[in-house]
Every structure is written in C-alpha cells, then in structure tokens.
Structure 1
C-alpha cells in the first residue's frame, strides 16, 4: 500500500478496517513486526528518529510510526511522522487527531481530521490468562463492574477483564489530548458491551468543564490476529 521504505522487521502494512463499525473519515493502518529482524540502520532508512531501548521497544515504536506515517499519507497525501511530546504522547500535525498502539508483534495507528473527530484512542492487548485476570480485576474494574463480572460464567471473566482494560486504555488515549490530565482505571466504567462489538463507557470524575463525571462515550472492540483491539472515538 506504500512505496516508502519498509524494513525487514516490518515488511508490510495493512489498511483493512478490523473493527465492527467503520468511522467516516478515519484511516487505520496496521502491521505485524518481528523484533528479531530489526537492523541498527532501519530508523535512518525509514527517516524516523530513533528511540533508545532494547530491540523489542525499538521495533514496536518503529512499527507504530510506520503505521502512523502511512495513515497520515492516506489522509492528507503527506507522509508525516508524529514526534514524541514531553508527555510521551504522539504529536500530530495541526488539524489532525490520532492514536498509535502496539502489542506483541502487532502495531496500528488511526488518524482523522479534527473537523470530523475530536478524539481517537486505539489500544491493542493480549487477552489476559484467567489466573492473571482474576488477580488484576480489582485494580481494573470498579465495584459495579466487579459485580457484573461475578455474574458471568468463569470462562468469560478473563475476556471481560481484558476487554475493560483495553477500552479504558483507549478512553484515556482519546481524552488525554483534550484534558491534558491523567486519570486511571477507577475513574471510568464500562456500562455495556454488545455482541456486535459496540461498547459504552462513562466518566466517574470531573476532568474539565466539558468532560465531567457522567459523560458517556462510545467504543468498539474486535479480536484481531490473536489480539484484542479497542477504539474509543469522540465526534467533532
């Protein structure tokens, strides 16, 4: 899908839409990557500033930026690469909004114009094993969410904890550029999740005047290549 250089550690990009609900004006690009194939010259060949760290960290960062570059090119015709801000968040070109995510061997980015979308938050996770999900549930879930979790069959609980974790990560990514304030798992709750992949979340704290406790936002989730992918989108 691109004539720009792609390194052996991330040799192909995919522009399919893996989530259940298409969003008008949003570009999503994903890629598989292999840290063992990373070469020390890959950043310079891709014209992307390098980041410190081990091969895993470098390859996931590079793959995420390659996805973002391709998504921006599809949206605007210009192959920009978002820089890293002092808060470590991607710095998107003026008039654009986006989000980058990466998991075990898989990365993706979404971008759109601010005239269409105020915020986008994308997150990919490996589904939690059942034993780890049970250990982490009280950290990730609110009391109401824990009550609903207990009503589920045991085999569904790990998926619900994983799904809630990912959606709250996406919620943070979508809202943080708008509020410039950090918030945490107990500060929002998952109200509903339907079989079609749609979800609804609610803030439990006041972040700003526009984003007060009780505000509700839409999300969606899908299983992709063994990963759990979620997106929270805020219309303009």
Structure 2
C-alpha cells in the first residue's frame, strides 16, 4: 500500500522541533491522533503490521510508526517501519538510532545516524495532578530529589515530579539499547533543570564499563501540546 496514505485518525505529519536545543543530524516527526477516528483498514492501507488492543493502543502505535517511517525516509531516503524487538523496543535499521513516544493524542519519533549519536530517548507525559504526584513521588524520586522538593508549593512539586519522571523515561530509552540492562527510577538522579529547558542527569549505579556510577547525561524538555516533552541525547 502507499506509504503516502495518511489515516483520518492522524493529522498531517510535522517536522516542527518543539524542544529548546536543536540536535545536528536528528530528524523528529510528530502527529496528533484521535482513536475515535481509527478505521479497521488503516493498518493495511498504511502498510504497517497491526497490533492488538483497544483503539487507543492501536492508534498510538500506528501514529508512532508513521512518524518513525517518515523520519527514516527523510534521513536515509528509505521509509522503513521499525520492527518490534523481543523486549518490545523498536528495532531500528543497522547504523541508526531512534526513539518513539506517544501520549494523550500526540505521537512522535526521532532518528539519527549512529556515527553522530549513540543513543536517543524521547518521552511525552501529562503533568501529574498534585494528588497523584504526592502519591508517586517516593517511587520516582531519590531521597536527594525528594529533599529538594520540600520547599516547593504543591503545584510546582507536581510539575517537578512529572519532569523527573519524563526525563528518567527518556534516559532509559536512550541508554537501554547500549547497556541491555534494565534500571529503574532510583538508579539515576536529576541534578538540575534550567528555565531554558536544559537538564542534567546522573547515574547512581554502574551500567557497564562505559557507564559507571557518576556518569552525567544531558537532557532537555519543553511543553508540547499541553504536555511535557523530554529528550535525552548521547553523542557518539
């Protein structure tokens, strides 16, 4: 089927870069999607293998893969659809790195060549309500991060918990393909975030010879369609 086909559940694909720092050689494609407009034939018309699940799961998967295929097409000239690995992560073509994220009607994918970037992790999240943030804070934040939270008013605490959650999700997506070891929220710490959207994270555990405890990684974040978008990028 034609790769140019756009299902009615998705808005036209966009190459707008919503984050504060552009990254050389990184291609980001995004779309908005509406599960209620998903058609039973959309997967076959798009030439993408279907997934099981409710309409929300199907539409976010389809939207994410459409973005990934277009990002790959713009980067390499060949519009491939990333397969799904056994660990459920996207399988990018040899020599390329990338990441897909979706949430609350937005989906995006970014890709780059491996000689320029070792790892990329993209994540989008709804900002947590104050009640939910207070309930989840101890699961997401280290003792040091929790201590920094105490002086903030409730709304700012919820935003900080949401940001930390998203950045750590992005960190996992960027690092896991390199280390092939699962690690968790308390295994990394957000060292700081700036008003200009820059952030720094630090590993608290060893993840192999290249990634000992104390390793610092760079992140960035922005508001995107009313949600919190974050990216962790690891240069080659």
TM-score tier (shorter): over 0.9
Moved more, 10-19 or 167-176: 10-19
1:56 aligns with 2:56: yes
Task: Look up the match of 1:68.
Answer: 68
Matched, 1:175 2:184: no
Residue in 1 that maps onto 2:26: 26
Structure 1 stretches of 5 or more lacking a match?
none
Q: What is the match of residue 204 of structure 2?
A: 204
Aligned partner of 2:223 in structure 1 is: 223
> Aligned with 1:128: secondary structure?
coil
Displacement of 1:152 in angstroms is 1.7
CA-CA distance at 1:154 after TM superposition: 2.4
Structure-1 separation of matches of 2:154 and 2:59 = 36
Q: CA deviation at 1:140?
A: 0.3
* 1:31-180 superposed matches below 5 A: 31-180=31-180
Distance in 2 between residues matched to 1:223 and 1:87, nearest whole Å:
29
Residues 155/11 of structure 1: CA separation in 2 closer, same or farther (3 Å cut): closer
- Write the distance in 2 (CA, Å) between the matches of 1:62 and 1:52: 11
SS in 1 for 2:99: strand
Count, aligned residues: 235
Q: Name the SS of the counterpart of 1:112 in structure 2.
A: strand
SS in 2 for 1:4: coil
Deviation per residue, 1:56-111 (Å, 9 max, x gap): 10000000000001111111111111000000000000110000000011000010
Query: Deviation per CA, 1:183-231, whole angstroms, max 9, x where unpaired?
Result: 0000000001000000000000111111111000000000011110000
Q: TM-score, normalised by structure 1?
A: 0.98
Determine the structure 2 residue equivalent to 1:14: 14
Contact 2:192 2:199 in 1 (8 A): yes
Classify the secondary structure of the residue corresponding to 2:137: helix
SS in 2 for 1:146: helix
Displacement of 1:155 in angstroms is 2.3
| Runs of at least 5 residues in structure 2 that lack an aligned partner in the other structure | none
TM-score for both structures, normalised by structure 2: 0.98
State the 1:11 CA deviation. 3.4
| Contact 2:3/2:46 (<8 A) preserved | no
Question: Runs of 4 or more off by more than 6 Å in structure 1?
Answer: none
